[in-house]
Copies of this chain bind each other. A is one copy, B any other.
């Protein structure tokens, strides 16, 4: 009965608190330097409870990557309405992406930096999320080609490369925007649309991409 009485919060709530603390510490200190003591302290729980719930530092980190990846892809997905023109979908998706990475800088650091460079299974988790986003952008580029009745079709290899370039540009701009005081999600999305959609050549000729009203 005593054990039940001290357990004031449901396990799911406590777990989320632990993950909140872990994302912050992993994101700010890096995976190797992060200490389970500090995570437990920030979460306001004992270290044994963290191990009881999440098992190990490795499992805790994996849980962080999964949660942050799911939150990011959900945010982008929620921002986009399929059926709209491709450039509108891209614009909406980019705004959602930059808004989310600006609101969750530690989560973004976990996904973009920490997860990718500490070997599997972490790298594989991050790669799976990135592949999902690349696949989404690849579909958008294909939609754009259909809309334009482009003939001949863009080769598949070229579409894949364009999607990789766009995702890489977005990753780079997200890190830059988070490190640049005053940069907004809308500005970052506008810059990327100018770059990706209009192209530097058009931009220089005074023909920027124009956001929908």
Contacts and interface: CB of A to CB of B under 8 A. Distances in A.
| Number of copies of chain A assembled together | 2
Interface residues of A, number: 54
B176 A195 contact: no
A30 B171 CA distance: 22
B168 A171 contact: yes
A194 interface: yes
Given A166-B195, A169-B172, A30 B119 contact: yes
A160 B175 CA distance: 13
A17 interface: no
Residue with the greatest number of chain B CB neighbours at <10 A, chosen from A150, A165, A183, A192: A165
A191 B199 CA distance: 12
Nearest to A117: B117
A209 interface: yes
Contacts of A204: 144-145, 147-148, 150
Taking chain A's interface residues, is the majority helix, strand, or loop, or is none over half, making it mixed? helix
A81 interface: no
B167 A172 contact: yes
A188 interface: yes
A213 interface: no
Given A116-B113, A173-B161, A202 B200 contact: no
Contacts of A194: 158, 162
Contacts of A151: 206
A151 to B, nearest CB: 8
Shortest 3 CB-CB contacts between residues of A and residues of B: A168-B172, A199-B199, A148-B204
Interface of A: 30, 32-33, 87, 113-114, 116-119, 141, 144-145, 147-148, 150-151, 154, 157-158, 160-162, 164-173, 176, 180, 183, 187-188, 191-192, 194-206, 209
